[in-house]
Amino acid sequence: MIPQPVTQSPLPDQTFTLQSSATVGLVGDSDAASRVADHLATLLRVSTGFPLPVEPGTGTITLSTDGPSSLGAEGYELRVDSTAVTVTAATPEGLFRGVTTLRQLLPAKAEAGTEQAGPWEIDGVEISDAPRYPYRGVMVDVSRHFRSVAEIKRCIDLASLYKLNRLHLHLSDDQGWRVQVDSWPDLTKHGASSEVGGGPGGHYTKADYAEIVMYAADRFMTVVPEIDTPGHTNAALSSYADLNADGEAPPYYTATEVGFSSLAVHKDLTYEFLDDVFREVAEQTPGDVIHLGGDEAHSTPHSDYLAFVPKAAELVVKHGKRVMGWHEIADASLPAGSIVQYWGTDDDRAQDLTRNAAAQGAEVVMSPANRAYLDMKYDQDTPYGLDWAGLISVETSYSWDPATLIPGLAESAVIGVEGPLWSETLDDMAKLEFMAFPRLPGIAELGWSPASALDWTTYKVRLAGQATRWDVLGVNFYRAPEIDWA
């Protein structure tokens, strides 16, 4: 099972068998809890062929929101014996996390899109579980190569299976602007019309974005939109000449080098632009965070950068959201409640900035590029990806502790982890999946499981057991040589 639960005790000589007469019982009358029950029943109806009606009260599989609040919003208890399965939580979100565990206890063929032959057996077990960190994310870069709504939904489905609860969408960069902004229509009319290599690009209409947000919410994932500033902005600068310091719009950019673009920090129009963008994105985003980027602003003079970040952050706060940004923003003054995302490679500067963020009261999400960047090659023979942060094997990606990676950073400052998936070389879903799997489940476990459970020797055995499930789901995963997939 991945992530490893906090406690897991087998019940000897107890085996549950799902029969055609089974029901899904729901104790709790919230719409969200009903959706969790319906989600489980719908999944199992397809693969088992059983009717599995959802009924109020107890059932063969009972989902209850009458669980203890001591396990928090995402915690749950699960019991399987010879007669029944019970998942109990204090909230629908906790119920959903318990259901994801139940799915992993079932045979992998339960995930199939066609009816399969039984038996449908689960060994007896008692589990009590809750996450180590509240923020456990995956980032999908749709700016370098655009991904459709259907493809983002698949990302959500695969990530939520491992209890990830944040979907960070990198919506703007030099190569493309991907979200509709009514007050600045050329951002998508012009700025969305390309991508790395000169492809057609694309963007999300407001209806598309709402569909993604709702689909994620039904799986208890919160969308974190990123509008990268003040660098990584060529798509916006190409769309509106007046946003440029010299008033001249640059052409589309379809290569992959970084650090050459910058908003005109001294222009009032820049902040009018950001005010409109953050307002419209905030209106469409139920989550409490907007990510304003802030990395690799090499063409922005440092003094200008230090002046820009507080002004941009103030606009995020103005529209009711918390500020999130890459660790560079911690060089400036940050508003209360900010989140800084560390992407360093053990370098002193990045670590100093992250400690400075914590000293300002900011919280930290850990995404060290030489461990958590899912677009880095596994080894020198990996056909896709980059290697500027190093070659990251599955073991390297898993074998670190978010709480102790940065010396002198208080453990209390760390609120979670995220696996970024940059897309410079990843122009289709098969390549994204190949780079994310099998490393993403390890990032998920680092965010969920207690530090005492993090052990490579036992983890790699559990990871090997996921292969059958991925085969059923059609995941294009990398069969890393350090794992005994047989």
Please pick, among 211, 296, 314, 395, the residue that the annotation labels catalytic: 296
β partners of residue 79:
86, 126
Closest CA to 143 of 361, 293, 313, 354: 293
HSE value, Cβ hemisphere, 13 Å, CA-based, for 312 = 32
Phi/psi-derived region of residue 197, left when phi > 0, alpha when psi is between -120 and 50, beta in every other case:
left
Asked if 304 and 332 touch (Cβ cutoff 8 Å), the reply is: no
In a 10 Å sphere around its CB, with 0-12 CB exposed, 13-18 middle and 19+ buried, how is residue 182 labelled? exposed
Element (H, E) at 440: helix 439-448
Q: How far apart are CA 116 and CA 107, in angstroms?
A: 11
Closest CA to 214 of 299, 152, 162, 163: 152
Chain centroid offset of residue 464 CA: 22
Q: Which two structure tokens, joined as six digits, stand for 294? A: 């802030």
Amino acid at 187: L
- Active-site residue flag, 93: no
Q: Which two structure tokens, joined as six digits, stand for 54? A: 């959802």
Length in residues, the chain:
486
Tokens 């100093």 belong to which residue? 352
Asked if 72 and 140 touch (Cβ cutoff 8 Å), the reply is: no
Diameter over CA atoms, the chain: 76
Query: Mind telling me the catalytic residues?
Result: 296
